[in-house]
Amino acid sequence: MSVKLFGMVFLLILSVLSSSVHANPSNLLDGVREIQLENGMKFLLLRREGAPVFSAYIRVRVGGVDELDGKTGIAHLLEHMAFKGTPEIGTKDYTKEKVLLEQLEVVHAKKIQSSGQERQALNAQMNQLVEQAGEWVVKEEFSKIYQRNGATGLNATTSQDLTTYFVTLPNTKLKLWAYLESSRLKDPVFREFYSEREVVGEERRMRVQDSPFGKLYESFIQLAFEKSPYRRPTIGYQEDIEMLSATDLRKFYQTYYVPGNIVGTLVGNIDLDETEKILKEYFGTWPSGNNPDTDFPEEPSPKGPKKTVVPFDAKPAVVFGYHKPNMPHPDDYVFDVLDQILCEGRTSRLYKRWVLQDHTVQQLNCAPSTPGSRLKNLFFVYAMVNTGVAPEKILNSFDAEMQQLISGGVSAEELEKAKKNILSQWYFDLSSNDQIAEALSYFEAVAGNWKYILNHRKKIQEVTSGDLVRVVQQY
Q: What is the 3-state secondary structure (H, E, C) of 126-192?
A: HHHHHHHHHCCECCCHHHHHHHHCCCEEEEEEECCCCEEEEEEEEHHHHHHHHHHHHHHHHCCCCCC
Beta strands across the sheet bearing 6-13: 306-312, 6-13, 317-324, 377-385, 361-370
Q: Closest Cα partner for 255 from 295, 296, 289?
A: 289
Residue 264 near residue 33, CB atoms below 8 Å:
no
Say how far apart CA 195 and CA 208 lie, in whole Å: 20
For the entire predicted model, the pTM comes to 0.92
Cα angle, residue 218 at apex, residues 216 and 223 outer, rounded to 5°: 95
For helices 94-112 and 193-204, angle between their N-to-C axes, nearest 10 degrees = 60
Q: What is the pLDDT along the chain (475 residues), one digit of tens a residue?
A: 332 222 333 443 333 333 333 434 547 788 999 999 999 999 999 999 999 999 999 999 999 999 999 999 999 999 999 999 999 999 999 999 999 999 999 999 999 999 999 999 999 999 999 999 999 999 999 999 999 999 999 999 999 999 999 999 999 999 999 999 999 999 999 999 999 999 999 999 999 999 999 999 999 999 999 999 999 999 999 999 999 999 999 999 999 999 999 999 999 999 999 999 999 999 999 999 899 988 899 999 888 999 999 999 888 999 999 998 888 888 888 888 999 999 999 999 999 999 999 999 999 999 889 999 999 999 899 999 999 999 899 999 999 999 999 999 999 999 999 999 998 888 887 889 999 999 999 999 999 999 988 888 888 999 999 999 998 998 8
- Cα four-point dihedral sign 218, 221, 225, 229: negative
The whole-angstrom distance between residue 471's C-alpha and the CA centroid of its chain comes to 27
Separation between Cα atoms, residue 363 and residue 345, nearest integer Å:
11
Question: Which residues contact residue 163 at a Cβ distance below 8 angstroms, ignoring those fewer than 6 apart?
Answer: 59, 60, 62, 63, 75, 78, 79, 156, 157
Is 98 within 8 Å of 106 (Cβ atoms)? no
Strand bridging mode 262-268 / 42-47 = parallel
What local confidence, expressed as pLDDT, does residue 28 receive? 77
Q: Are 35 and 279 in contact (CB under 8 A)?
A: yes
> In the β-sheet with 152-158, what is the strand arrangement from edge to edge?
33-36, 42-47, 262-268, 53-60, 163-170, 152-158
Q: What is the pLDDT of residue 458?
A: 85
